[in-house]
């Protein structure tokens, strides 16, 4: 080899590239070895696909006609494609009429090479043909129960997603083009990106969707000015600083889902729903849920009702002095809100005067694609894992949602980061999507069983909260449901079914796009559209097809609706009014707790948790002329800040006093102060007080 040739090779960087590849592959080998050792006992079939596949095979064997038809169609189309491809490769150019084309919304094959280069065009059509053949094999099989059929079809689609030629360097023209352009440097950098993701995931590949270092909570996301005015073990309550001189008399309390964090509604000023609500003259409060660890293992759904929503309502009342409020619940937050409203109705608590439900399911009979993850076997497996840690790790739930849109939320980033060797780009929504939360074991298991598996919430008395039967049909306040036509998490037809449960006036709005984009749709963007009705149609599909389509955001339509209910104005309220203490600046500290910010202590066993929950021995309360020391009465479930003030002002300031009084005496005392306080359930207060005593 001449010196000039050697110099040319060195200039291309082949030698250094080879050394880098060798070094990186050694790291890959080490990481994979550690991964295999750490996960050698892992469940390789968490979705119980072996059983579903066996049932599918058995059904096909009994009625093979479907498979025969699919095979014949595939053979015919394959021969046609072979003839077209042979002609193209011999110089005839790409056939004007392809044998098969991708769906209109399929963005995987947008590179011009898939159309212009005969070899890649043949690869694409071959993949599409095989995909159609496999779909035909699994769809419409007689003898399969509906759930098994849905599971087989869903995971067949995920298999086809994974096997797309776009996911392999040698069969993706965009990747080959990049290899030529960078002389292979894209593959080296892509490998480094993969190694970093493996190390960050401690052996589990967690593909970065965005540059997380580009964002800071309170810095360039979640920036709407406000203060944290209340907190307990479940949440922080943020009150936003007014942007108008006057405000709607009724304050507005927003209940977000506890899966992911509230600031999806406050990403940037230009698309912040919370800021927009403040700008329209609402006094806005939002719940920022705690990111629970193993110490929350026994926290129940009922705790989210009483220590969560009702405690927040109490705090809003104290902060504003208003006993009438409007509320919004988003996704699971809406499910929690509906449950709380039924609980409050049963207790005679009528402070909530209107409720809005954003992409919220209450009737889980048809939960959409999420239903494939819900059956007895899968829930039992999940419960076993949660009992070991005390919670469901947020990455598992995020992985489930990502799997439902695998091409957009998994494989597109796999190609961009690893094959093309690009670094993830900053994107606020994807930053939020990557900021996962945990779910308490007891609460999450209850939620999956009672709502998804057994669909009990829509049945009168189907579930109880602290012994109170829940009946949503008893809730008669005006409600508004906002759903989105492309929602894969809360299908709009299912949300519409849940809207029928209420006995008061119901408005239903159907927006464009999906679960997030259709809700976070500011008017200034001029995107999407919506339909609206005040009469729930018997045939929702016919209504959707015939209803007037209004261009733009649904936000102003909702604002007109809620103000038409009551438009009384007061002077704008500042956080801290009415003596409410300012704890810290928004967005608060709870929302900043990530999956890595978790106690390193070992999770307690089930026996240890039960022992910790057992009542403490009855204390001996000695008579004393000295006043009882003041205790934090809000630490008792069911006592919010307002009620704590009522008790303190009437001389009840300590746990010892509550323990000595007993539940009946406490109830009588509250009723003597205000008959409306009869709604409070004091049954467990003395026992809790004893447990809190030193």
Give pLDDT tens digits for 97-109. Answer: 888 899 988 999 9
Tokens, residue 192: 């480094």
387 or 86, which is more confident?
A: 387
- Residue 207: helix, strand or coil by DSSP? coil
CA 540, 491, 382, 156: dihedral to nearest 10 degrees?
Answer: 100
The backbone torsions φ and ψ at residue 119, rounded to the nearest 5 degrees and listed phi first, read: -65, -45
Residue 509 and residue 492: Cα distance in Å, rounded?
10
Residues 6+ apart with CB under 8 A from 113: 120, 173, 174, 177
How many helices and strands, by DSSP H and E, does the chain display?
Answer: 27, 17
Q: Which of these is catalytic: 331, 458, 480, 496? A: 331
Residue 237 and residue 287: Cα distance in Å, rounded?
5
How high is the pLDDT of residue 602?
35
Residue 347 and residue 344: Cα distance in Å, rounded?
5
**Contact criterion met (CB below 8 Å) for 192 and 128:** no
Residue 1 above 60 pLDDT? no
DSSP assigned state of 417: I
Residues 6+ apart with CB under 8 A from 164: 108, 127, 407, 411
pLDDT band at 573 (very low <50, low <70, confident <90, very high): very high
pLDDT band at 363 (very low <50, low <70, confident <90, very high): very high
Angle, in degrees to the nearest 10, between helices 173-182 and 185-200:
110
pLDDT band at 143 (very low <50, low <70, confident <90, very high): confident
Residue 310 and residue 351: Cα distance in Å, rounded?
10
CA nearest 679: which of 236, 343, 405?
343
CA nearest 362: which of 285, 460, 275?
460
The predicted model gives 173-196 an average pLDDT of: 89
Boundaries of every domain in the chain: 47-183, 226-373+436-592, 615-692
Q: Is 199 left (phi over 0), alpha (psi -120 to 50) or beta?
A: alpha
The predicted model gives 33-48 an average pLDDT of: 50
Angle, in degrees to the nearest 10, between helices 641-649 and 663-673:
90
Q: Among 12-21, 171-180, 306-315, where is mean pLDDT lowest?
A: 12-21
Render 61-90 in DSSP notation, one character per residue. HH-THHHHHHHHHHHHHHHHHHHHHHHIII
Q: Among 80-94, 235-249, 463-477, 543-557, where is mean pLDDT lowest?
A: 80-94
The CA R_g of the chain, rounded to the nearest whole Å, is 29
pLDDT band at 7 (very low <50, low <70, confident <90, very high): very low
509 C-beta neighbours (distance < 10 Å), count: 20
Lay out the sheet containing 325-330: strands in order across: 550-551, 529-533, 506-511, 479-484, 352-358, 325-330, 252-255, 284-289, 235-240, 226-231, 584-585
Residue 135 above 70 pLDDT? yes
How high is the pLDDT of residue 600?
35
Tokens, residue 475: 């809730």
**Contact criterion met (CB below 8 Å) for 645 and 318:** yes
- How distant, in Å, are the alpha carbons of 30, 305, 326, 495 from that of 323? 62, 18, 10, 29
458 in active site: no
Instruction: Give the rounded distance of the alpha carbon of 479 from its chain centre.
Output: 23
pLDDT band at 251 (very low <50, low <70, confident <90, very high): very high
3-state secondary structure 323-374: CCEEEEEECHHHHHHHHHHHHHHHCCCCCEEEEEEECCCCCCCCCHHHHHHC
Residue 353 and residue 349: Cα distance in Å, rounded?
11
Q: Among 46-50, 243-247, 500-504, 606-610, where is mean pLDDT lowest?
A: 606-610
Tokens, residue 497: 């079914």
pLDDT band at 96 (very low <50, low <70, confident <90, very high): low
The predicted model gives 457-473 an average pLDDT of: 96
Average pLDDT of every residue of the chain: 85
676 or 560, which is more confident?
A: 560
How high is the pLDDT of residue 306?
96
pLDDT band at 493 (very low <50, low <70, confident <90, very high): very high
Give pLDDT tens digits for 617-641. Answer: 333 333 333 344 578 888 887 787 7
226-373+436-592 folds as Rossmann fold (3.40.50)
Residue 8 above 60 pLDDT? no
Q: Is 500 exposed, middle or buried (0-12, 13-18, 19+ CB in 10 A)?
A: middle
How high is the pLDDT of residue 23?
56
How high is the pLDDT of residue 46?
59
The predicted model gives 668-678 an average pLDDT of: 77
How high is the pLDDT of residue 13?
47
The backbone torsions φ and ψ at residue 161, rounded to the nearest 5 degrees and listed phi first, read: -60, -45
Q: What proportion of the chain, given as a percentage, has pLDDT over 70?
A: 86
Give pLDDT tens digits for 413-457. Answer: 999 999 999 999 999 999 999 898 999 999 999 999 999 999 999
pLDDT band at 375 (very low <50, low <70, confident <90, very high): confident
pLDDT band at 615 (very low <50, low <70, confident <90, very high): very low
- Residue 403: helix, strand or coil by DSSP? helix
- Residue 571: helix, strand or coil by DSSP? strand
Q: Any long-range contacts for 69-77 (C-beta under 8 Å, 24+ apart)?
A: 69/136, 70/133, 70/136, 70/137, 71/133, 73/133, 73/136, 74/129, 74/130, 74/132, 74/133, 74/136, 77/129, 77/132
How high is the pLDDT of residue 15?
54
Residue that has been written with the tokens 């007080």 in this structure: 689
């Amino acid at each position: 080899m001449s010196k000039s040739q050697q110099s040319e090779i060195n200039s291309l960087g082949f030698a250094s590239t080879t050394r880098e590849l060798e070094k990186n592959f050694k790291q890959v080998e080490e990481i994979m070895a550690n991964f295999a050792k750490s996960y050698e006992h892992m469940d390789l079939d968490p979705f119980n696909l072996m059983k579903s596949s066996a049932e599918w095979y058995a059904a096909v064997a009994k009625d093979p006609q479907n498979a025969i038809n699919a095979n014949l169609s595939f053979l015919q189309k394959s021969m046609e494609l072979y003839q077209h491809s042979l002609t193209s490769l011999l110089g005839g150019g790409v056939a004007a009429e392809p044998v098969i084309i991708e769906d209109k919304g399929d963005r995987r094959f947008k590179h011009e090479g898939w159309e212009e280069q005969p070899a890649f065009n043949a690869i694409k059509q071959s993949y599409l043909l095989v995909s159609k053949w496999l779909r035909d094999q699994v769809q419409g099989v007689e003898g399969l129960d509906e759930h098994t059929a849905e599971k087989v079809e869903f995971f067949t689609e995920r298999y086809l997603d994974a096997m797309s030629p776009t996911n392999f360097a040698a069969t993706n023209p965009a990747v080959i083009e990049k290899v030529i352009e960078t002389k292979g440097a894209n593959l080296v950098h892509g490998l480094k990106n993969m190694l970093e993701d493996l190390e960050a995931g401690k052996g589990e590949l967690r593909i970065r969707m965005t540059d997380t270092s580009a964002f800071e909570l309170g810095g360039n996301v979640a920036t709407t000015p406000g203060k944290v005015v209340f907190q307990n073990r479940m949440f922080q309550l943020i009150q936003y600083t007014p942007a108008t001189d006057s405000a709607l008399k009724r304050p507005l309390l927003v209940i977000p889902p506890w899966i992911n964090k509230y600031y999806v509604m406050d990403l940037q000023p230009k698309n912040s729903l919370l800021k927009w609500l403040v700008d329209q003259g609402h006094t806005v409060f939002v719940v920022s849920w705690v990111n629970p660890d193993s110490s929350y293992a026994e926290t129940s759904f009922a705790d989210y009702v009483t220590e969560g929503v009702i405690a927040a309502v109490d705090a809003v009342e104290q902060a504003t002095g208003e006993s009438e409020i409007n509320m919004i619940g988003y996704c699971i937050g809406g499910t929690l809100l509906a449950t709380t409203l039924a609980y409050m109705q049963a207790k005679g608590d009528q402070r909530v005067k209107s409720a809005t439900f954003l992409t919220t399911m209450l009737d889980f009979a048809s939960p959409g694609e999420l239903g494939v993850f819900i059956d007895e076997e899968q829930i039992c497996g999940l419960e076993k894992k949660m009992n070991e840690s005390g919670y469901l790790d947020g990455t598992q739930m995020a992985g489930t949602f990502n799997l439902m849109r695998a091409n957009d939320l998994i494989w597109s980033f796999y190609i961009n980061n690893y094959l093309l060797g690009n670094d993830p780009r900053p994107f606020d929504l994807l930053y939020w999507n990557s900021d996962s939360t945990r779910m308490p074991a007891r609460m999450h298991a209850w939620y999956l069983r009672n709502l998804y598996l057994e669909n009990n919430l829509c049945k009168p008395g189907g579930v109880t909260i602290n012994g109170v039967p829940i009946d949503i049909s008893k809730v008669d306040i005006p409600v508004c449901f906002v759903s989105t036509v492309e929602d894969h998490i809360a299908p709009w037809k299912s949300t519409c079914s849940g809207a029928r449960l209420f006995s008061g006036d119901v408005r239903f709005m159907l927006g464009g796009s999906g679960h997030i984009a259709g809700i976070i749709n500011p008017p200034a963007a001029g995107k999407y559209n919506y339909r609206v009705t005040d009469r729930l149609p018997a045939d929702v599909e016919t209504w959707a097809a015939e209803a007037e389509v209004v261009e733009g955001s649904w936000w102003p339509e909702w604002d007109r609706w809620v103000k038409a209910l009551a438009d009384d104005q007061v002077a704008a309220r500042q956080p801290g009014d009415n003596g409410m203490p300012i704890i810290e600046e928004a967005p608060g500290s709870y929302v900043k707790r990530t999956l890595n910010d978790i106690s390193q202590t070992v999770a307690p066993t089930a026996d240890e948790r039960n022992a910790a929950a057992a009542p403490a021995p009855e204390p001996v309360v000695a008579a004393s002329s000295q006043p009882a020391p003041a205790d934090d009465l809000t630490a008792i479930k069911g006592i919010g800040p307002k009620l704590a003030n009522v008790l303190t002002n009437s001389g009840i300031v300590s746990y010892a006093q509550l323990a000595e009084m007993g539940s009946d005496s406490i109830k009588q005392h509250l009723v003597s102060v205000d008959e409306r306080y009869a709604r409070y359930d004091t049954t467990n207060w003395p026992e809790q007080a004893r447990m809190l005593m030193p």
